[in-house]
Structures are given as C-alpha cells and as structure tokens.
Structure 1
Amino acid sequence: MDYMTLRTYKKPEFKSLGCPVSNCIYTEDKSLADKSDAIVFIARSLGRKPKKLPHQRWVWVTHESSCYSGEAGGAWAGMFNWTMTFRRDSTIFTPYQFVVEREKPLAKNFTAIALKKTKLVAWMVSNCHTKSNRERYVAELKKHIPVDVYGGCGPLKCSKRDNERCLENINRDYKFYLSFENSISTDYVTEKFWKMLDRDIVTVTRGPANYSRVGIKPEWHINTNDFKSPKDLAAYLKYLDKNVTAYVQYLEWKNQYTTGNRLKAYCDLCAKLNDPSEPVTWFRPGTLANWFNKGHCIAPKDLNFKRRKRRQTDTFIYLDGHGVLIF
C-alpha cells in the first residue's frame, strides 16, 4: 500500500479514487487472494508465490529501470498477465507521476522570480557511480559553467532529513537544476524530474531520448540529448542566464500544469478488469524479461568529449524562439 501510494485514502474503494469505472476494491489482506480478480506484485519483493486461479490477472509492477530490474524466474516464470510500469507500452502505463492541467491557472510573475536568483546550476545527488555515467558528464560540464553539487557526491551537504529545506533553498537561489537519471532506460523518468516540476526552476534532464512519449513536452525542460557536448549545453545555459525573456519561457507553462499522482493508472486497471472485450494475455517464461530488458538499458552516447580544434571560421548558433544568438 505504501509503494502504491494508496494508504492515505480512507476507504479501499475505487469510488474514493474518483475512477470512472469504480466497482473495484483494493486490499493488502492476503487471506482474500483466492477471491480477487487481480493480484498486484511488486517485482523486487515477490516473496512466496501464492496459488494462481484461472480467472485471475497477475500484474507485474516495477519502477526500477531496465538496467536494474528483470523478470523473476523459477516458480514465477510465465505467471504474469499484465504489466504496470513507467514504460509507455505497458499494459497499464504507470509513470512516477503524470502532468495534469491545473483547475485554476496560477499567475506567477516568473520574470520577477528569475531576476531574484543569484546562482546558476544545482545538483543534488548521493549515488556517485552510475550506469549512465552522469558523474562524468557533470565533471565535464563543470569545466564550462559553475555547478554546485549537494549531497553525498559533492562538497555541499544536505541530509535526507533536510531534503525539503535544501530543495526550497535551491528553488530560491538557482536558475537550473540537473535532473540526471542514474541509468538511461526507455521512458525512465523518475522523481528527479517530477520533484522540480512545481518549483520555480528550469530542469535540465539527461535520460531517455524521447521525453514526449511520457507526456513531458520539449519546451518544459532542457534536454542534454539536444546538445553535442556539455560545453555546448553550458553555452546555452549561460545564454539563458543573460536573456531573462528566453529563460522565463521554460517556466511559464507551470502556471497551467502541475503534477498528478498514479490514480489514473489504478482507474485504468479497474476499467480493464471490467471490460469483457479485454483479451486474455500472459507472458510466457522469459518473454517478460525480453520485453522489459532487451535493448532498453541504453549505454550513454554523449561522453566523447574530444572535439576538433575550433577554426576561426567556425560559428555556433542557438535559436531561442525570439531570435538568434551567434557564438
């Protein structure tokens, strides 16, 4: 219940979640397993396998990247019918969070907010050795622009107990925040992005190539995939630092949108269980691992920092939507 963020709801009924199809209930009482239409299993904590009844859908849930998660074998092989993951092609798409339109738009003056910021780039991080090699990328980025590193991997300390206070200080003082994933995996966008969405800061992302697949528009963040090198990214961030109009364009959308939770995914699950046309599907032994892992843990391709010496005639151009800046 904690993992699925359902414990905070008073009644275990899908009506309390506001689902269009709501004749479902949820429980963590394992004695009711043989009466259930679906059982949801967290991939990394499967425990002892219960008896599976013919009418049941078993649902495999994970929010670990394809680099760190895989199908359990042995007695669990071939047991699952549906998937609930951050992957867009899951049976039930369940990202860390959703973007939703605000019922009442805000009216923040982001220009005034931006002009009060005194620092450039911040990064909070505690895992210093990752499959994405984000630490190498940031080391190169720091050669071209100041990056203040908080947490276990940097000189600026911020304990988990003080996490919220640190985030608020970063939100107040910095223009950019690095939301770099620990591994590059298809559709894998974690809290590193989502925790900054409702804050007055521009997020720089490094993760899957196509954030649009999971509902994150290009104009909502700065994607390292759009730059040939950390040096080019640094040049663009410096440009935005000097051009408040262009910088604010990356913030103004936050007046219209906010973060939503996973309830939509649970509503989709209830609707599927009620749909008589929903086909009977299952993952044969090995096919779930093949679907989730094969080709979806992606090696970084942006760590070759050797560049030819710039000739006097070389010109670098950035388009910002309003004009052209030439380097």
Structure 2
Amino acid sequence: MTLTYRLDSDVFWNYGLFIDKETGSIVAPSKYVKWREPEAVDDPQLLKFIKQSKTKQAAWFLSHCGAKSFRDNLGTKIQEFMDVDIYGACGNLTCPLSIDIYNTEGRQVCTDMLNTTYKFYFSFENSICTDYMTEKVFLNMDNYVIPILYNGVTDMQHFLPPKSYIHVNDFNSIEELANYLKFLDINPQEYANYFWWKKYYKVTDNVHKYSYCDMCMKINNWNVRKKRNQYLDVAEWFGHKACYKMGNNFK
C-alpha cells in the first residue's frame, strides 16, 4: 500500500485541501472534482484594499538555492521584466519565515506582509515531479495573494479552483507571463476576480487526519482476493524516474 502526495496512491497524502463551505465536504485535490464556474467579484471593500494597500508586485521566500528545478534561473529571468522581492538566503531581504520555517509567530508576520503588501507570490517547487505541489501553495491560497506556480502537476483542475492561480507553463515566454502579471497589477478588478472561489471554498493544511482515516479504513476493509495496485519498480513510480529533468534556460 502506498501513501504519498500522488493522486494515484492507494492513500492520498497531500499538503492542503479545499473544503466546500456549504456542505463541509472535501472537494480537492481529487481525481474526480467539479468546481463551480468562476465569476466576477463584486466587492468594493476588496477593491479598495487592493488599490490602497497592495503596493508591491511579487514576493518570493527562497532559502534553498540551486534546486534541481532551476527555479533560481526562472526567478532571475522574471526579474528582467518586473519587480520581485526575494527573501531568504537566496535574496537580499529577510523575514522571520525565511530564517526559521518553524517559527509560528514569524510565519504570521511574513504572511501578514504578503497579504497586505504584495499582489503575487512565487510558489516554485524545488523538484518537478508528478503531482508534487507543496504547502507553499496551499498556505498562501488562504490569503489575498495570487500564487504563481511552477511544478510537475499536469492537470491543475484536480488540485486548485480554476482562475485562482497562474502557472508558468501556460505562457509561451517569461516576458509574456510578466506582461500578464503587470496587466493584473494595474487592473484591480481583473486581479480581484482571481479570488472568486473564496465565496464557496476554504483551504486547510490539516490533511493528516483525513489521510489517517482513509488509511485505517482501507486496512480494516482489506480483501486479499480483491485486485489491487502493484508496484513492480518503486523508483520508476515514485522515485527519480517520476521527476522531470529540467533545463536551465528559460525563454
């Protein structure tokens, strides 16, 4: 039996969940998910907040330099076209979260700064592997900041609501991506529309209890006669062969 972050695991163990506010049921991540249709956000207070408080474009907390995904190179390329504040060992700015990720009080300070000051947050993974998307996405989805994604998830609809994120792979070039972010930067209504989903869903990173319950249920109902998944080569399914070798040249 496998328990991993991959959707095709026997027991799915993810870094965050989306809960339907009306029913309280888990919506995603899931192999079978149906989201509501995105809609325009009609919230004068949110628009006022965006115009008056969010004065900076993008932030990135980065203390693990030289990752296999070459995300450092990607960030450097984006900086050619727009402003990006980098906190941590790989940048020139500091915040408690970039020094100690286990500092709960410091995390709140940095989260508040992101929420009130920045419009975008770079959620670039250190490895580009099948279904690998860490807490850096889900923790920031709980705020009013749009995550810019770079990961190995091939079908994002299984994980996040439509029009709630921006993915690097959806653009033909880094310049095209940066131009779109700058468009949102000067168009508060278009920017605000990325938070339409907050009316219907909420995010939680308390995923362990769900995974443990799922695991216990499957163990207690184990049927030796029932056909189940076979993993003839774990390295191929989950190890290095499940990750993509990335180039370090971004156009």
TM-score tier, shorter chain, comes to: 0.7 to 0.9
Residue type matched to 1:128 in 2? C
Moved over 4 A (4+): 280-284
- SS of the counterpart of 2:2? strand
| 8 Å CA contact retained: 1:113, 1:200 | no
| 8 Å CA contact retained: 2:115, 2:145 | yes
5 Å matches for 1:1-327? 82-103=1-22, 109-116=45-52, 117-158=54-95, 159-160=99-100, 161=103, 162-212=106-156, 214-260=158-204, 261-262=206-207, 263-275=209-221, 277=223, 279=226, 287-293=233-239, 295-300=241-246, 303-305=249-251
C-alpha displacement of 1:93: 1.1
- SS of the counterpart of 1:170? helix
Gaps of 5+ in 1: 1-81, 306-327
Gaps of 5+ in 2: 25-41
Q: What TM-score, normalized to structure 1?
A: 0.62
C-alpha displacement of 1:189: 0.5
The count of aligned residue pairs is 222
C-alpha displacement of 1:205: 0.7
Residue type matched to 2:50 in 1? A
Higher relative CO (Cα under 8 Å, sequence separation at least 6) belongs to 2
Residue type matched to 1:253 in 2? W
Counterparts of 1:276 and 1:297, CA distance in 2: 31
- Structure 1 residues 220 and 302: alpha-carbon distance in aligned structure 2, compared to 1, 3 A threshold: farther
- Structure 1 residues 113 and 301: alpha-carbon distance in aligned structure 2, compared to 1, 3 A threshold: farther
Counterparts of 1:174 and 1:136, CA distance in 2: 22
Which structure is larger by alpha-carbon Rg, 1 or 2? 1
CA deviation digits over 1:237-288, x for unaligned, max 9? 001111112111111212322223222222211221232546375867x622
| 8 Å CA contact retained: 1:171, 1:201 | yes
Counterparts of 2:185 and 2:161, CA distance in 1: 22
Counterparts of 1:301 and 1:112, CA distance in 2: 41
C-alpha displacement of 1:98: 1.2
- SS of the counterpart of 2:18? strand
Percent sequence identity over matched residues? 34
